[in-house]
Amino acid sequence: FDGDVYPNEPMSRHTTYRIGGPARFFVRVNSVGALTGLVDVCATEGVPWVAVGRGSNVLVADGGFAGVVVALGRDFRTTRFEDGRFLAGAGASLSSVVQDAFRRNLGGFEFAVGTPGTIGGALRMNAGSRDEWISSRVVTVTTYRPGRGLMRLRGDDIAWGYRTSSFAPDEVILECELAAEEADPFVVRDKMEANLARRQQSQPLSEPTCGSVFKNPEGASVGRLIDELGLKGTACGGACISPLHGNFIVNRGGATAADVRTLMDHVRARVQEAHGIDLAYEVRL
């Protein structure tokens, strides 16, 4: 088997939140063959399984996951540049593409500077800023789905939305082609620096978080709503609503998933009460 198997692996080691109970099996697959073999067996045997990237947009329960967590290793981590496009493995980091584009005098990825996570994760959730998304760069995506096999999709044939995509829950993203365009490196650098400076100022980037907790409701900023309700700084156990940005809940050390859930429930109830808005989760629970 071309991979590594870790039984009862704490997911707190594999999430940016540093939270999460054990996965029954955490398996790092290093090749497409290992991945397809593993998920096919899980699917036919009825074993719950889930693919993860860098764990930067998930809150794993304290009880862990009673199944197989699949992480993408070696062969999925490469990126190449060919004919004006990046060919990126789903397990490569988004930031490696952002930096590589800059080095090659290419533009189009400045919005993603400082965004953690893998290419696969970024595609599944259509990562981006408020109004620029990774989907606008996608030429093709190769996926695998047990029972359906390998598929090569054109970016235009995928339904993309604000932090959503039309990939099936059991469809694993393997790699993609991303379009880049020639750009003035000084302009690219200025955009990257401005984006990063703005985020460093307004988001707790160096603390363990899952990024934004909720999606912005139509026409509103959930961070501002939470701020206006005076909820920043509210704590529960080791978790705290960031004093820097209302839509971030940080792990100040030893936070449990239950601590974070308590704060999430509190925020949702307060926003519902004050504005009649039912907040949708941006983080995957």
Rg of the chain over all Cα atoms, to the nearest angstrom:
19
Strands 181-182 and 172-179: unpaired
Starting at the earlier edge strand, list the strands of the sheet with 22-29. Answer: 3-10, 22-29, 65-72, 49-52
117, HSE (Cβ side, Cα atoms, 13 Å)? 25
Nearest approach in angstroms of CB 120 to ligand EPU is: 16
- 281 and 273 Cβ atoms separated by less than 8 Å: no
Nearest approach in angstroms of CB 218 to ligand EPU is: 12
> Does residue number 95 form part of the binding site for ligand EPU (CB under 6 A)?
no
Nearest to 147 by CA among 43, 29, 37: 43
Q: Which residue type does 179 have?
A: A
Query: H-type helices in the chain, by residue range?
Result: 32-45, 94-103, 119-124, 185-202, 222-228, 257-275
Of residues 181-220, those binding ligand EPU (CB under 6 A): 199, 202, 211-212, 215-216
- Residue 30 vs 251, nearer CB to ligand EPU: 251
> Does residue number 259 form part of the binding site for ligand EPU (CB under 6 A)?
no
Of residues 102-161, those binding ligand EPU (CB under 6 A): 129-130
User: Could you give phi then psi for residue 247, rounded to 5 degrees?
Assistant: -95, 15
- Residue 142 vs 195, nearer CB to ligand EPU: 195
**Looking at 247, 250, 255, 256, which residue binds ligand EPU (CB under 6 A)?**
247
Tell me the per-residue interface mask from 215 to 234 with ligand EPU, x by CB under 6 A, - otherwise: xx----x-xx--x----x--
- Residue 103 vs 130, nearer CB to ligand EPU: 130
Give the binding site for ligand EPU (CB under 6 A): 129-130, 199, 202, 211-212, 215-216, 221, 223-224, 227, 232, 245-247, 282
